[in-house]
Amino acid sequence: MSTLPPPPAVLTLAGSDPSGGAGIQADILTLASLGCHPLSVITAITVQDTVGVDDFMVLDSDLVNDQARFLLEDIPVLVFKIGMLGSVENVAVVAQLIADYPDVPVVLDPVLRSGGGHELADDDLIAAMRDLLIPQVSIITPNSMEARRLAMNDPDEDEELSLDECAKRLLALGCPHVLITGTHENTKEVINSLYSPNGIVRADRWERLPASYHGSGCTLASAIAGMLATGLMLPEAVREAQEYTYQSLVAGFRPGMGQYIPDRMFWAREDEGAEGDSD
């Protein structure tokens, strides 16, 4: 038996992706890669591959709640990471869950559609997230498309909101930090901006990679959760998580006929390559 302290436990609540590219599988791989112990609560089962989502079934909210409550009665959790929830009922039970653990940081990846464009959240679910969930989380990590959709005060609002305005509106809901990623923006580099009520905390620029990736948002949010669990303060956790995610994208691979998948264990294969070079 090891005399070392156990790895920090992070509880992730997300949908299952059988391709291993996104969802709870991406969370588990990322957290394990960063030295955390991932606890996983499945909120939905999807039928998907690296090309896209064909169908999904949302789990009953009582089952979601029971999965999480049993774990929390047994294992001390340092951080919550939330991904796809799939229903208003699931948003409500997760909102109550994190309210019962107010000292545990929460990272919310607002999954509204799949990388292939399949809708995973309707207007009612988005409204529930705005009202019940976002006010309680420590940081929300939308891409620019998700940020604009979440920030719209009126479904008929035609104006394309600036990302600064999106951040302002999301912060006004009560969330203390918003990280908006710029993958979908028409910029030479990808610019990820971390906002607080005082303005931009940091803006990080990354080389725009040519491939299309499945699970990059899940990887980033889980990496932030993992970095927080290991003791980093939030701005530094965001910076380190971006570096980890970028390296996983650079080392990404295409296992099927669709998008590339980040290699969350890139460091292990780098070590293997180094060992091979020394022979």
Q: Per CATH, which fold does 9-258 belong to?
A: UDP-N-acetylmuramoyl-L-alanine:D-glutamate ligase (3.40.1190)
* pTM summary value: 0.94
At 88-102, the pLDDT tens digits run: 999 999 999 999 999
At 170-196, the pLDDT tens digits run: 999 999 999 999 998 989 999 999 999
**Domain ranges for the chain:** 9-258
CA distance 148 to 151: 5
- Torsion sign, CA atoms 215, 217, 220, 224: negative
CA distance 214 to 113: 12
